[in-house]
Copies of this chain bind each other. A is one copy, B any other.
Amino acid sequence: MNWKTAVDIGAILAPVQPGLQLVEAKMKTVESSLFTPLATAFVDLIGSGGKRLRPAVALMAARFNGELGRAQYEQVISLAASVEMLHTATLVHDDVIDGALLRRGAPTLNATWNRGATVLAGNYMFARAANFAAETGNPRVIRIFSDTLEIIVEGELRQLRARHQFRQQKDEYYQRIYAKTASLFAAAAEAAATLSGLEEDGIGSLRDYGHNLGMAFQIVDDILDFTGNAGSLGKPAGSDLLQGTLTLPFFYYLQIASRPQELLDQLETLYSGDMNSDDASWTRTVAEVVQDLRSGPAIEAARQEASVYLGRAASSLAALPDNRYKQAMLDLCDFVVQRTY
């Protein structure tokens, strides 16, 4: 992360900083009865990362229906903590599934804990997330939470199944990123707007914002997986492709490839289901593809597409009253695409 980006996001999030601190504190309330080593691992993991964009979107989306009452604000904090805890739980389970040893550059739970403890740690976080959602006491919000949990898990199943299916349709990519990322941004915005007592039109607009921002955010993440380096990513560049997950830059790369069928044939032939993702010939081929992809127009095409989603996100706010939260939401759109430069 470069210094300029870090400063920008801090400024953008300033209006919701007090709320984010409450969310952070809430996430770190680990029941004292839970044994200490696990609690420590939780807190480290929770503390190690991310920009808390999901709770930030929730905190902003709650600000379009006048002042929040004290009880309402507490509900919004619970919702925001629920969303981020759910997100963190899926990261923990991703580590079990991928066997990934590095994420965000920090050793994951998986590296020091055995599989069982990791699965249970993720479950515990799911339970906390469900509990935070239940704390809102709002049936619609709770329903949004459980529906989204189902969408996310189903999306992860789809992603797992789609690995190494080199001839999949691009449509499947959009389904996956909606399920894995955009659905939770959309849920955060919709649920927070609901808690603020906004009318349906406004709730719908904010949901659209979250949805489109989330799509763009994931596309950008997928771009960074190609353009970043091991230092900034905490994992090798091209790690998605390495594990057989196809993302938008790859689809564009295929589109402009002179002999796409031959490339797919090569990848399919090379890759065998029993193979480890660190097989030498596979790693070498993927590295070549990554190199070639980075030097061509695929990255820029994907970036343009992210910008389209961000444009939609910004447009969806048009009918909402202007305030500093709306400005922050618009600035967030700029921030997301800026990450790729």
Bitwise, A163-188 to B at CB < 8 A (1) or not (0) is: 00000000000000000000000000
Copies in the complex: 2
Question: Which residue of chain B has the shortest Cβ distance to A96 in the bound complex?
Answer: B119
A66 within 8 A of B: no
Query: B120 touching A97 by the CB < 8 A rule?
Result: yes
Q: Are B123 and A97 in contact (CB under 8 A)?
A: no
Q: Is the interface of A mostly helix, strand, loop or mixed?
A: helix
Contact B131 A147 (CB under 8 A): yes
| Interface size counted on chain A using CB atoms at 8 A | 43
Spot the interface stretch: A135-143, A191-199, A311-319, A333-341: A135-143
Q: Is A154 on the interface with B (CB-CB < 8 A)?
A: yes
Inter-chain contact B154/A31, CB cutoff 8 Å: yes
Interface residue? A130 (CB, 8 A) = yes
Q: With the chains together, A31 CA to B121 CA distance in Å?
A: 27
User: Is there an interface contact between A93 and B123, defined as CB atoms closer than 8 Å?
Assistant: yes
Q: Which of A11-19, A32-40, A203-211, A223-231 contacts B (4 or more CB under 8 A)?
A: A32-40
- Contact check: which of B31, B34, B127, B143 meets A134 at CB < 8 Å? B143
Pair B139/A134 contact, Cβ less than 8 Å: yes
- A160 and B96 contacting across the interface, CB-CB below 8 Å: no
A126 close to chain B: CB less than 8 A? yes
Q: Are A157 and B97 in contact (CB under 8 A)?
A: no
Which residues in window 99-122 of A have CB below 8 A to B? 115-117, 119-122
